[in-house]
Amino acid sequence: MGFNRIQKQRLMENYEKLNPLGQEKLVDYSENLTEVEKYTQTEAVSVAKEA
């Protein structure tokens, strides 16, 4: 199991532990992180902006 796959699995496990309010907060937080250049991958940002 690769590193990225492990990270994604951990994220999903944490998401499943949360109630609906906590799940929404986690989604909001992840969306906020994608707006900070320090935390984003250049390719992902370019693709998202084109969509």
Tens-digit pLDDT profile for residues 27-42: 999 999 999 999 998 7
Q: What is the pLDDT of residue 51?
A: 57
DSSP-based three-state secondary structure for 40: coil
Q: What is the pLDDT of residue 47?
A: 54
Using pLDDT thresholds of 50, 70 and 90, give the confidence band for residue 48: low
Distances (CA, A) of 31 to 1, 2, 36, 38, 43: 26, 24, 9, 14, 16
Domain-by-domain residue ranges, the chain? Answer: 3-50
Name the nearest CA neighbour of 25 among 36, 13, 35, 14. 14
Residue 41: how many CA atoms within 13 Å on its side-chain side? 4
Q: Are residues 39 and 33 in contact, defined by beta-carbon separation less than 8 angstroms?
A: yes
